[in-house]
Amino acid sequence: MTASIAAAVPKPPLRVDLFRPAFILLALALAVLVVLPLSWLVYYSLVDKQGAFTTANFAALVSDATLRKPFLVAIGMALSVGVLSCVFATPLAWLVSRTNLPGRRVVRALVMASFVTPPFLGAIAWEILAAPNSGLINVLYRYLSGAESDQHLVDIYTFPGLVFAIACYTFPYVFTLVANGLDNVPSDLEDASSILGGRAATTLRRITLPLVLPAVLAGSMIAILQALTMFGSPAILALPAGFHVITTKIWSLFQFPPKPGLAAAAALPLLVITVLLLQGKNWVLGRRGYTVLGGKSGTPRITALGAWMPLAIAFVVIILSLTVILPYAALAKTALTRNVSEPLTWATLTLRNFNFVFFEFSATRLAMWNTFLLGFATATIGTGIALIAAYMVSRSTVRGAHLLGMLATAPVAIPGIVLGVGVFLTYSQPHLMLYGTLWILLIAFLTIEMPAGYQQMSAAFHGIHPELEEASRVLGASRLNTLRLITAPLLRSSVIATWCFVFIGTIRELSATILLTTANTKLVSVIIYDLNESGDLGAISVLGIMLLVVSFAVVFVAYRLPVLGGQRIATLR
C-alpha cells in the first residue's frame, strides 16, 4: 500500500543548477584577463634575452638617468595636477552645492562634459589654442598687440602647460566627490554654529570644510592617479617639449629596437604606486563620516552670495571656459577652416575636413568600424560578465563567490599602459599569437572596463531585495532561470546604463591601445594620435567632434533611464 502511494506521488522535476560550472568558467575567464598579463609582466622583468634570471632591468631603473628622470617628472606632474584640480574643483563645488549661484544645473552639466571629454582630445584642443606659433590665443595676441611673429603669450609645450591641460580633465573627479559631500553635509551642524554666533565664513571654515576634507583628499588622489597613468596628453604635449614622463617612456621602449624586459620592469613600479594611491583613497574615504542624532537631517544650507555674486560668476565662467567652452570652440573652428590660424568667416568656412575624413581618408572608415565594433562587443560581453559576477557575489550563490568580486575589481589598480605591456607580452607568444588582431584589443578592453561594469551592477543588485528570487526558487526555477526571468528585467535600466558607460570607456581608450594596434586594427583614438604626429589638426577636430557626439548621445540615453527606483546615474567612471 505504501509503495503504491509513493508511486502515485509525482516526482519533482530534476533541477540542474549550473551556477557551480558557471562560477568556475567565470573565475577562469577573469583570472586569464587579470592574472595572466601580470604574470608575463613579472616574468619578462626578471629575465634577460636568453631567458636567464636577472635583476639588471630593475637596476637600470635606478642607474639610468633616462629612465629615472621620467619617473620623477611624472610624480611632480601628478602632484601638481592634484593641487591644481583641487584649486579648480573645490570652490566650484561649493558654489554649485551651497550657494544661490544662478544656473547651477548648467554648471554641473558642463563639468560632466569635461568628464566625458577624452583627455588626449582636450590636449589637442589646447594645442590648437596655445601652441607658441599657430595657437589661436597667440595669433590673437600678436594681432592685437602688434608683437613680432616669434613672440607668444602662452606656450602649451611646457611642464606647466602639460599640468594645466591634464588638470582641465581631472578636476571633475574632485568636483564630483566634493559636491556630493557638500550635498550630504547635515545643515543641523551649520545651524548650530550660526545659533552660537558663528558667521558664515567661520561656519564654512570650521564646520563645512572639515567635513568635506576627506572628499577633497580622495578626489585629489584620484586626480593624481589619473595624471600619473595617463599616456595621451603627455605624448601630445610633453614629447614636443623634449621631455618624457614614465608612460611615454614605457611606450618608447617598444620602439625600435624594442626592449620589452626594460618596459616590463618600468611598468611594475607604476603598478605599485597605483595600488598605494587607491588604498590611500579608500582609507581616506573610509574615515569620513558623521552621525546625525534625532532623525533625518535638514536640507543643505544655501548661502546668499550678495555682493560676491559677480566675482563668483566670473570664477565659474573662467573655469568652464578653460575646461570646456574654449576647447570645444577651438575644435569646431578648426574643423570648419583649412588652416588653424585663419579666422572663421563665411569666406574661410569649408567642409573640406569632413569630406577628407569621411570620404577620402580610407583609414578612417576602417578605424571607425574597428572602434564601434569593439565598443559594442566589449560593452555587451563585459556587461554580461559583470551581471553574472555581481549576482553571484551579492547573492552568495556558490562558495567562494567573493573571489569573483576581487578579480573583477582588481584591474582598477592596473594603469592602462601597464596592462597594455602585459597584454602585449602575453599574446605575442607563438602559442598565444593574437597580436595584430582585434581579439587582443577586446581582451584589453574587457579587462580595463570590468571594474566599472562590475561596480555598477553590484550597486544595482544591492538595491533589490532577494525575496522575489527566493519565491521563484520555491516555485521550481533554477538560479539561471531566476536571473533571466526575474532579476534581469528588474535591472533592465541598470544593465543598459552599464552598457552605455562601458561603451564610452572603450571608444575613448588610448593608453593600452597605443601598444596593441597594427595597421589593420587601428582605432579612432589611435588615428587621432597619428594625425597629430603629422599635424593634420582639421581632420583630428572632425574625428574628435564625432567621438564627442557619440559619447554625449550615449550618455544622454543612459541619463534618461530610471535606475533603481527612479534615481539617475550620478557619476561616470
Bigger pLDDT: 395 vs 42? 42
**In the predicted model, what is the mean pLDDT of the chain?**
86
Residue 293 pLDDT grade (very low, low, confident, very high; cuts 50, 70, 90): very low
Which residues are registered as beta bridge partners of 47?
A: 53
Mean pLDDT, to the nearest integer, of 167-181? 91
Q: How confident is the model at residue 65 (pLDDT cuts 50, 70, 90)?
A: very high
Which whole-number Å values give the CA distances from 520 to 366, 523, 532, in the listed order?
8, 9, 19
The residue assigned the cell 598565444 is 432
Residues of the chain with CATH 1.10.3720.10: 22-51+354-573, 55-289+300-350
Q: What is the mean pLDDT of residues 277-286?
A: 78
Measured in whole angstroms, how far is the alpha carbon of residue 476 from the centre of its chain? 42
Flag the least confident range among 178-182, 294-298, 542-546, 552-556: 294-298
Angle between helical axes of 119-130 and 232-241 (0-180°, round to 10): 30
**565 has a pLDDT exceeding 70:** no
pLDDT at residue 4 in the model: 53
Q: In the predicted model, is pLDDT for residue 298 greater than 70?
A: no
Is a pLDDT exceeding 90 seen at residue 395?
Answer: no
Over residues 560-569, mean pLDDT? 47
- If one compares 294 and 120, the residue with the highest pLDDT of the two is 120
Residue 304 neighbours by CB distance under 10 Å: 10
The fraction of the chain above a pLDDT of 90, given in percent, is: 55
| pLDDT value for 18 | 66
User: Could you report the per-residue pLDDT of 551-561, keeping only the tens digit for each?
Assistant: 998 888 777 76
- Nearest C-alpha neighbor of 89 from the set 232, 215, 225: 215
99-108, 142-151, 397-406, 412-421: segment of lowest average pLDDT: 397-406
How confident is residue 475, by pLDDT bands cut at 50, 70 and 90?
A: confident
CATH for 55-289+300-350 is: 1.10.3720.10
CB 506 within 8 A of CB 449: yes
The Cα–Cα gap between 76 and 69 comes to 11
Lowest mean pLDDT among 35-39, 47-51, 285-289: 285-289
Report, as an integer, the average pLDDT of 515-539: 93
CA distance 167 to 224: 9
Q: How confident is the model at residue 279, as a pLDDT?
A: 85
Provide the pLDDT confidence category of residue 17 given band limits of 50, 70 and 90.
Answer: low
Q: What is the dihedral of CA 519, 523, 525, 526, to 10 degrees?
A: -10
Contact 337, 350 (CB under 8 A): yes
Give the DSSP per-residue string, 537-548.
HHHHHHHHHHHH
Residue 572 has pLDDT above 50, yes or no: no
Residue 488 CB neighbour total at 10 angstroms: 14
Q: Which three cell numbers stand for residue 423?
A: 597584454
What is the tens place of the pLDDT at every residue in 232-241?
999 999 999 9
**pLDDT attached to residue 464:** 75
- Tens of pLDDT, residues 80-125: 999 999 999 999 999 998 889 999 999 998 998 888 899 999 999 9
The number of residues making up the chain comes to: 573
- Span 188-197, mean pLDDT? 63
Distance of CA 255 to the CA centre of its chain: 27
d(CA 237, CA 254): 20
**Run of H or E including 327:** helix 326-335
Mention the CATH class of domain 22-51+354-573.
Answer: mainly alpha
Strand partners, 246: none
CB 235 within 8 A of CB 251: yes
Give the rounded percent of residues in the chain with a pLDDT score beyond 70.
Answer: 87
pLDDT at 291: 45
Residue 380 corresponds to which cell in the numbers above? 555587451
The three cell numbers of residue 187 are 545643515
First and final CA of the chain: distance in angstroms?
A: 67
CB 238 within 8 A of CB 245: yes
Q: Would you state the pLDDT for residue 287?
A: 57
Phi-psi region of 564 (alpha: psi -120 to 50; beta: other; left: phi over 0): left
Give the residue from 102, 168, 225, 112 showing the smallest Cα distance to 570. 112
What are the angstrom distances between the C-alpha of 218 and each of 278, 285, 450?
9, 7, 22
* Other beta carbons less than 10 A from residue 175's beta carbon: 27
Torsional sign, CA 302, 307, 308, 314 = positive
Give, as one character, the DSSP assignment of residue 103: T
For residue 482, pLDDT over 80 is answered with no
pLDDT of residue 187: 65
pLDDT mean over 334-360: 90
Degrees (nearest 5) of the Cα angle 199, 203, 204?
120
pLDDT over 80 at 305, yes or no: yes
Cα 412 → chain centroid: 10
Q: What would the mean pLDDT of 531-550 be, rounded to a whole number?
A: 93
pLDDT of residue 467: 73
Which set of grid coordinates corresponds to residue 238? Answer: 610633453
Task: Give pTM, 2 decimals.
Answer: 0.88
Quick one: 325 exposed, middle or buried, by C-beta within 10 A (0-12, 13-18, 19+)?
A: middle
- Is residue 570's pLDDT more than 60? no
So what's the pLDDT on residue 444?
96
pLDDT at site 285 = 66
**Residues ≥6 apart with Cβ < 8 Å to 534:** none
